[in-house]
Structure formats: C-alpha cells, structure tokens
Structure 1
Amino acid sequence: MTGTEFTVDVAGGALTVTRWGSAEALPVVALHGITANGHSFARVAAELPDTLALLAPDLRGRARSAHLPGPYGLGAHVADTMALLDAVGVDRTVLVGHSMGAFVACLAAVRHPDRVAGVVLVDGGFGLPAPPGTDIQQVIGPAMARLSMTFADRDTYRSFWQKHPAFAGRWNTWADTYVQRDLVGDPPEMRSSCVADAVRIDGAQVLEDPEVLGAIRALPCPAWLMWAARGLLDETPGLYTAERLAALDGSGVQLVELPDDNHYTPLFSSTAATVAAQIHTAVQQTMEAER
C-alpha cells in the first residue's frame, strides 16, 4: 500500500506528511516515536477500513522533515500537528501516537481539546519515574547510538536493524521500508536522518517535563493505551506492567494489553491489525458520543 506525500507549511519550513487512504475518507493523524518516521505506521494504515485515512507526518527533526529548525520539543510537534489539521481542513479528529508520539498526542489533546476527539496510545504516553540525570540514550539504547554512526550502504543499515533485539527474527518488508526512509547521505557514509539535538530535547521532556508527564491524567477526551508486554530490547517486563498502570486507575484511560509484542512490533507485526481495529473503534465511539 503506497502512501501519497504532501507538505504542510509550519514554523521554519515545510513538514512532510504521508497519507494512506482516499481523499474522501475520514482522516486520523498518527504521530511516531522519538527516532522514527511516519512510515512506521504503514502497516497499520493498510489494516484500516476504507472509511478511514491515516495521515502520518515525519516529525520535526526526522526523515523528510529533518531540515526543519528548532526550537524543538513536544510543544513544537503539537503546533505542527495543528498546522496539519488546518491544512487538510479537519476541525476535530482522533490522534494516534506510538512511544514519544503518544506523549505528543496527549499534550495536543490537553492544549487543544476542541481539535482532538480521542487518542489511541501505543506503548507510550504514560511517564514512568526515572532517576535524576537519566539521559534519553540510556532509555532507548541502540536507537539513539546509531545517530552518531555511519553506514556503508543500505544493506549495512538493514543488517544493523535486523540485529536489534526487538526485530531479531521478526524482520519483514514493513520494517525494512520504515528503516530505509530514515537513511540519508551517500555510500560509504550514510547515516540516520534524525537530528540528535531534537531527540535529546524531546527525550528530556518525555522524562521530566511536568506538563508532558501530567497530560495523560488531564485528558479531556476518550483514551486507549495499548501496552506491550515486552520492552525496547524485547526484555520482560516492558515499559509498562499491570502494576505500573494501576496508577492510571480512575483516569478514564482504557487499557489494552498486547501480550505477544515488544515496544516496536505492534506497528510491524500482525498486531498492526489490532491497532487498526482500536483506531476504528475510537473513531466510532467518539463520533457517536459527539452526535
């Protein structure tokens, strides 16, 4: 399923967005993780019904939006998301976020309750206590380390990701298309497109910014958190457990466990159909509630 790219005017330049689905379909917006890009949602988009379209920007500082300047931070991503909604003429919709993108979705809902009808969060959005001084590289490991690396060619970059514990034994064309979009430059010195400063600034907010961390408890709209049982390196337990998520009791956030997945795989494995079904449910329920 091939998406259609377009750009949106935002502060400092043009944000690149990929759209999957027809122009007549109701659009939802998908926000990717901290070193990812919009094509991480390609398989989810393929699983959506024809009545829905998925719009996935390459967030500021990543992939084909890497040229966009600072200031970085989750507030900048929220502003860019609102600019996207304005550009496509959407007053109100459901936001989907994976990992860091889930925190952006929550912050957008709190800052712009008139624009966000609901949020679907995939293994993100709920902050966990981190020791003082924790750096984002300590949390995301190889995903961050690669930003200072060069790669001889696309096959070398593919091999790097195939060895990542989260993808080992799970590689497929969806994952390959996603990681290849990240690669820029010419052989033998190709590199990730991600701007390291953008990742560090965004990561610091995810770890310690009070507004970002508190957004999930202040949501003015329906919310679903789909959490993976395994972590970023396919370890057990993952970022979330039932015990950790008990802190959300009374928040109204509905929890959906993904017992067979790690932090990355819900977007690339057959679980993408489950994520797509949850998005469809969220759209149906929010539309029904607002009639």
Structure 2
Amino acid sequence: MTRARREVRVPVAGGDLAVGVWDAAEPDAPTILAIHGVTSSHLAWENLADALPGVRIIAPDLRGRGRSNELVGPAGMLSHADDLAAVARAHGLGPTVVVAHSMGAFVAVAFAARHPDLVARLLLVDGGLPLGAPAGLDADELVGAILGPTAARLNLRFADVAEYLDFWRDHPAFAADWTPALERYLAYDLVPAGDGGLRPATSYATTVEDTVDMNTTTTVVDSLAALSRPALLITVPRGLQDEAPGLYPDEHLRGLLAAYPDIAHERWEGFNHYTVVLSASGAARIAAAVERELSLATA
C-alpha cells in the first residue's frame, strides 16, 4: 500500500517551491530531507517512503523541476542549497539527515557547506563527488555527454501520459524494474505544453545551468573543502543507460576517495543509476542506510 503524501509550498527566491511530505504516525518521528536528481522530482522517493513508515520525509521539487518548474531566478548548487534551507526552516528542522541522489547529492554537499547548522549527516547516492566530465565542451555538449537521452527528452512533446510511458517502457535501466510506482513517478513529470500536448516539467535551461555549475566551476570542490558533516557516498556499477562502468569508474573513484578521505564509501552491486532509488529493492537498501544514519545522528 502506497503511503499517504501531501504537497505544500514554501516561499523561496523567485516564487514558491513545491515540496512533498510523507508524514509519520508518531509526532516525534525522525525527519529526513530527500533531494532528487537533475531531471527528477520528489516522487523519486515514494519507494523509500514506503520502506520507512516511521520516518517523516520532506522532499522538494527542486527549482526548474516538477511543480517548481516555473520558479524564476538563477539555479546552480548554491541557489538550490538556499532553497533547501528555506524548506528546512519552514518545517522547523534542526540538524537533519539528508539523503540525496545524483545531482541532488551535489546540492546536498553545497547545502551542508553553506548551512551546516541544518545538516547532521549526508547520505550521497551515486553523486556528490566530482564526475570525470570531458573537457572542452560547450554547455549543450556537456549536458549531452553526461545525460544523453535523459536530457534530450526535455525538448520532446507527447500526446498523452500513455505515449510518455511508452517512451520510457523500453529504457534499458528499467528492463527488470517496471512498476506502478515508476509509472506514477513518470506521469508526475508531465505538464501541459501549451499546444494541447504534454512535455516533461524539467526546464532544459535550468538543467544546462546546473550541469555547467556541477562540472565546470569550483562550486562542488569548494563545498567539499568546507564540508564539516559526516558523509557516506554510495556508488553503483551501472549508469543511466544501465551501462558499465557507470558515473564513477573504478580508477576515477579511487582518486576521489584518496582526495576526500573523510567521506566514507560503499559500492552496491546489482543496481544502475536509476534503480538504486526507483526500485523497491534499491529503496529498501537505502532505507536500511537511512536508519543507520539516523542512529548515528542521534548518538
């Protein structure tokens, strides 16, 4: 049974941020902040919410995505970090365990460096440490090199939800993990296109802005240098197209872990970049890690 969820709006620079909240039955239940990836939404965490019934989960649609897709103003990791601070303060949170996937993990690192009073511990799922992005590319080429079809779809139009689901149905990442929860997540991604059709909610321009910031500026390395909260990085062996080696090839990963020895690391076999969050088995494993992080934060 899918856990009940409510949606709220939180004022931030340029407008209101849409936030999904899975409440827990107990009023003193622990709370986590959950941050989705570059072209995703808060519904990426539905499986995790079902796996953690005793934990309140607060998960925004980052600006330029989901129902926050019309927020005006600049993006980038620091803007997202300030949005998260507004979400945390609107919900009266103190230091909180932050769980983040893909680009969300880079946002989480910036959030912890910029607002350390609001962060207890970080759980970074297949993101957060610098990627080995190719050099010398313009912005569109960089997005294409890192995200490929994930970004290309943002400029497509679809007649209805069924056509969009068919577009995704043969995606190699979901060959063994197509579920009703995934269909709900994908359907939420659609908004009216203005011509009678539908389009993905994620702004391509914001995706470009964020990808450039993650990979060509010093924002990420500066945030990592300032990081004062414990962090666990989880990596998986396969990438966005279920391809090996995934976002963190072994040699690149070894260099990162040597450069950032205070960041703990676990390699989870059997998952790709999507299924580690969007499958029930991936969410169950993240749930176990969240419970461990919550215990450590309490201790």
TM-score class, shorter-chain normalisation, is: over 0.9
1:202 and 2:210 aligned: yes
In structure 2, how many angstroms separate the alpha carbons of the residues matched to 1:18 and 1:123? Answer: 22
Output the CA distance in 2 between the equivalents of 1:87 and 1:112. 14
Alpha carbons 2:6, 2:20 under 8 Å: kept: yes
Residue 9 of structure 1 aligns with an amino acid whose one-letter code is: P
Tell me, in whole angstroms, the C-alpha distance in 1 between the residues paired with 2:268 and 2:183: 22
Tell me how far apart the structure 1 counterparts of residues 74 and 99 of structure 2 sit (CA, whole Å): 23
Selected match of 1:183 from 180, 190, 201: 190
My pick for the range that moved more, 234-243 or 195-204, is: 234-243
Letter in 2 for 1:159: D
Q: 2: CA distance between counterparts of 1:230 and 1:98?
A: 14
124, 145, 154: which one aligns with 2:127: 124
For 1:56, the equivalent position in structure 2 comes to 59
Assess if the C-alpha contact under 8 Å between 2:13 and 2:73 holds in 1: no
TM score, norm. by length of structure 2: 0.91
Matched, 1:44 2:48: yes
What SS does the corresponding residue of 1:81 show, helix, strand or coil? helix
Partner of 2:16: 14
Give the CA deviation at 1:213. Answer: 3.5
1:264 maps to which of 274, 281, 284: 274
Q: CA RMSD in A?
A: 1.6
Q: State how far apart, in whole Å, the 1-side matches of 2:146 and 2:10 are.
A: 32
Moved more, 278-287 or 100-109: 278-287
Report the equivalent of 1:139: 146
Deviations 1:28-64 (A, max 9, x none): 11111000001001101111151x2111100101111
The one-letter code of the counterpart of 2:20 is T
Structure 1 portions without partners, runs of 5+ = none
- The C-alpha deviation readout for 1:93-114, integer Å capped at 9, x for no partner, is 0111100000000111111122
Establish whether residue 174 from structure 1 lines up as the match of residue 184 from structure 2.
Answer: no
Alignment match, 1:287:
298
SS state at 1:156 partner: helix
Aligned position for 2:89? 86
Equivalent residue number for residue 238 of structure 1: 246
Q: Give 1:3 deviation, angstroms.
A: 0.9
How far apart in 1 are the matches of 2:282 and 2:176? 16
The worse-fitting range, judged by mean Cα deviation, of 181-190 and 29-38 is 181-190
Runs of 4+ in 1 over 6 A off after TM superposition: none
The answer to whether the 8 Å contact 1:217/1:251 transfers is no
Q: Does 1:65 align with 2:72?
A: no
Instruction: Measure how far apart 1:137 and its partner are.
Output: 2.2
Deviation at 1:242, TM superposition (A): 3.8
Equivalent residue, structure 2, for 1:165: 172
Alignment deviations for residues 177-205 of structure 1 (CA, whole Å, 9 cap, x no partner): 11111101178521111111111100111
CA distance in 1, matches of 2:39, 2:130: 18
SS in 2 for 1:95: strand
Q: Is the 8 A contact 1:151 1:188 kept in 2?
A: no
Partners of 2:238 and 2:245 within 8 A in 1: yes
Aligned residue pair count: 287
> The residue matched to 2:117 in structure 1 has which SS?
coil
CA contact (8 A) 2:129 2:220 kept: no
- Tell me if 1:215 matches 2:223: yes
Q: Helix, strand or coil for the counterpart of 1:82?
A: helix
Q: Quote the offset at 1:163 in angstroms.
A: 1.8
- Residue 252 of structure 1 corresponds to 262
- What secondary structure is seen at the aligned counterpart in 2 of 1:150? coil
